[in-house]
Structure 1
Amino acid sequence: MSDWSDLTTGKRIKHLRGSDLTQQGLADATGLSLALVQKAEQDRGELSVGSLLKLAHALNTDVAVILGQQAPRRGMSQDTRAALRRLSDAVHDSALGEWDGIDDPSSVEELGRARDRAWEAYWASDTVRVSSYAAQVLLEGRARYAGATGGERERLGSILASTYRVAASCSNGFGHRDLALSALTSAKLLAKDVDDPVMTALLESTLSWIHLRGAKLPRAVAVAERAALAIEPSFSSGSRPQLLAYGRLMISAAVAASRREDASAADDYISQAHAAAARLGRDEKLYGTSFGPTAAKTEAVGIHVALKNYGRALALAGQPDMKKLPASMSKVARNRYKLDVALAQCAVGLHDQAADTLVEVGLDAPEWVKHQALPGVIGKRLAKVSTARVRRISDVIGVSLLA
């Protein structure tokens, strides 16, 4: 629909529901009450992020579509659609053994560098480069892996598993859950084959995120918690890779618990993440995953926002060491954190600051921001103060924020 962004959120939900699914059916599919579904379609009250996730999952769409930031089936640029098709082909062809045409695959070292570049592109929100590097690693790496033995096979297995994981993460970010699960399945088989417990733990953190985005919150918590128990390190003698994986899993569990509005569990999990970060003492990166004091604090801000502890979130964000984020922090992580801060600012009435923060994010990551739920939530709240300003913000960042 050319005027999709002009519809209200309620009308978009009703349109996506269609005539084949009743309001009661949508309530049953989401686990939400019939009254909440009716209020949503009548545009009465605001929907929480958790409710939006459940509605998007039941309607087989993305939160950004419900909020009008993307039109159904047309939300991605042509380059992004082409990149995801290439990624899909590489994930499935490599898993099925369709690599016979590769006579001279790259060396293990070259494949490792390409894997690293794929992760760098992912954290820079460059989907085209992710697909380019990941496709090379998956197809050429599988060709070499088929005949590898010993240490070379182990290195290749870890490189391939990590590359399938970046493919899963990229796909999940665009709502392609089936492709994400396909990539993750291949990754888990490889990690088991080469006996890499740290990689296995990080794959479970990605699976937890897939469940989170699919609004399967209990499963998201359970997956992260189970994997954390399997790799839980001794804080006096645990290896740094173990501490990194454990801390990241605790964050995954805390995020999912906060979306369930389970404040006690979220606090317990984030406390464990802070403990692992303190033991590491500095931010580190492994297999494309960053963790350390910065990640623990910025993620804690988002968790407090989800729990509606806005004052606590802003107090944490206002600490001296949070005023200037490290240059090593990825563009995606930085802007995800800033959206959390903007939502907290908006919630406590700091509307000018929230608007400025939202503009910062939109200008820094224009393609990434189109696929996020929070800009629409923030825009809707800011519109209660000034619709004119929200229109100006929409024009500046290229994302429709008004229903």
Structure 2
Amino acid sequence: MSNWADLTNGKRIKYLRGSDLTQQGLAEAAGLSLALVQKAEQDRGELSIGSLLKLANALNTDVSVILGQQSPRSGMSRDTRAAVRRLSEAVHDSALGDWDGVDEPSTLAGLRAAHDRMCAVYWRGEYGELSELIAKVLLEGSARYGQATGYQREQLGSVLASTYQFASSAAILLGQRDLALSALTAARRLAEDSGDVMLSALLESTLSWIHLRSARVPRAVAVAERAALRIEPSFSRASRPQLLVYGRLMISAAVAASRQGDASAADDYLSQAHAAAARLSGDEALYGTHFGPTAANTEAVGIAVALGNHGKALKLAAHTELPRSMPKLARNRYKLDVALAQCEARLYDRAADTLIEVGLDAPEWVKHQALPGTIGKRLAKVSTARVRRISELIGVPLVA
């Protein structure tokens, strides 16, 4: 594709429409005539502001994108663009107190149930349904939160804060850093107001991840370490939520340290995570965040890969069992680490099979990951034809 700003409005509309939506389909979705859509794509005549707004809404984008002032996210499907927009509207409207249309919000019990469904959907990587559930909890929960008092207000605050955290995590996965930070800012305020110390600490693990994805690695380490120190448990007397949150933060610090090549620090943080996991003795979840022996073991593999210890990573992987209860996305993120280690060990057939497993198991999620491209480049040195076949099979472009 040429420089986005150099294209005409008509070419931008045609590109955004893509091959999965006909001109007739776009006309119906926008409430416009087919003739107007055809003229728009052929750059015949000027579009009114009203028509531009209707087209932008139907294409799940902004007018600024159609006009060339902003570029669309590369590789994002229409459904994913719709999910991103729904996320953005839910986060900003709820935080600004704009929940028009919410006549009778769900009860606290109903919002908790929707929150639990949201957590499950997030870990399956289904962004369309995820954005709908996040919007429901944030808009209805915010409307009820404004009228609540006492215990109910505290509980609603925790549910809302956790939902904003998931909105933040989804946004950073989809490449929307500013939206992720906006959601996390709202989450922090609510968690502090509700007095939920463990949730406040968990939010810092998400902030650490945002910094890591933004290549601000020292800050990612510092954020996780500071939060962990604030809740550092006495292992003989610690509550299970305290052990879970502390272990999760130590994992965040270890992962970030490994990304800057600090093996000593990564090992120290990882040993603390293993100690917390051993004390828990089983996998648990708090506000949809998972930690336990499985997380400690699988993250250790990824840390070894990041440090270039591929032989160690494969040895660890050989002794790591993945329980059926392990969330789909966590399992597949771990498998991508294994596939990269297999590539580095020249186990190309096994790496290709592992990559295919991931692509077929989490087709929408894998499109937003960087590792498949890295693995594809390694495999292409052996067989470009095979990588092209893998690309077609999993729907992810791995080679140019």
- CA distance in structure 2 between the aligned counterparts of 1:228 and 1:301, rounded to whole angstroms: 22
> Is the 8 Å Cα contact of residues 100 and 143 (structure 1) preserved in structure 2?
no
- CA distance in structure 2 between the aligned counterparts of 1:306 and 1:286, rounded to whole angstroms: 27
| 2:195 matched residue in structure 1 | 195
Equivalences for 1:2-401 in 2 at 5 Å?
73-319=73-319, 322-323=320-321, 325-401=322-398
Q: Which amino acid aligns with 2:362?
A: A
SS of the residue aligned with 2:290? strand
Q: Which amino acid aligns with 1:313?
A: A
> Is the 8 Å Cα contact of residues 270 and 300 (structure 1) preserved in structure 2?
yes
Structure 1 residue 334 displacement after superposition:
0.5
> Identity of aligned pairs, percent?
72
TM-score by length of 1: 0.81
Q: How many residues align?
A: 334
1:319-370 CA-to-partner distances (Å, cap 9, x unmatched) read: 1xx24x1111111101000000000011011111111101111111111111
- CA distance in structure 2 between the aligned counterparts of 1:103 and 1:117, rounded to whole angstroms: 22
SS of the residue aligned with 1:380? helix
- CA distance in structure 2 between the aligned counterparts of 1:144 and 1:244, rounded to whole angstroms: 30
- CA distance in structure 2 between the aligned counterparts of 1:216 and 1:3, rounded to whole angstroms: 28
Q: Which amino acid aligns with 1:104?
A: E
Which runs of no fewer than 5 residues in structure 2 stay unpaired?
A: 5-70
- CA distance in structure 1 between the aligned counterparts of 2:93 and 2:383, rounded to whole angstroms: 51
Q: Which amino acid aligns with 2:278?
A: A
| 1:8 matched residue in structure 2 | none
TM-score by length of 2: 0.82
Q: Which amino acid aligns with 1:130?
A: L
- CA distance in structure 2 between the aligned counterparts of 1:73 and 1:124, rounded to whole angstroms: 22
- CA distance in structure 2 between the aligned counterparts of 1:388 and 1:3, rounded to whole angstroms: 29
SS of the residue aligned with 1:285? strand
Q: Which amino acid aligns with 2:92?
A: H
Structure 1 residue 103 displacement after superposition:
2.6
- CA distance in structure 1 between the aligned counterparts of 2:367 and 2:221, rounded to whole angstroms: 27
- CA distance in structure 2 between the aligned counterparts of 1:385 and 1:100, rounded to whole angstroms: 57
Structure 1 residue 74 displacement after superposition:
3.5
Cα distance change, pair 362–100 in 1 and its aligned pair in 2 (3 A): closer
Structure 1 residue 163 displacement after superposition:
0.3
- CA distance in structure 1 between the aligned counterparts of 2:365 and 2:86, rounded to whole angstroms: 19
1:276-333 CA-to-partner distances (Å, cap 9, x unmatched) read: 00000000011010000000000110000000010111101001xx24x111111110
Structure 1 residue 73 displacement after superposition:
2.5
- CA distance in structure 2 between the aligned counterparts of 1:374 and 1:84, rounded to whole angstroms: 22
- CA distance in structure 2 between the aligned counterparts of 1:125 and 1:138, rounded to whole angstroms: 19
| 1:402 matched residue in structure 2 | 399
Cα distance change, pair 347–114 in 1 and its aligned pair in 2 (3 A): same
RMSD: 1.5
Q: Which amino acid aligns with 1:157?
A: G
Structure 1 residue 377 displacement after superposition:
0.7
Q: Which moved more, 1:97-106 or 1:131-140?
A: 97-106
- CA distance in structure 2 between the aligned counterparts of 1:188 and 1:80, rounded to whole angstroms: 26
Q: Which amino acid aligns with 1:364?
A: D
Which of structures 1 and 2 has the larger relative contact order (alpha carbons within 8 angstroms, sep 6+)? 1
Which runs of no fewer than 5 residues in structure 1 stay unpaired?
A: 5-70
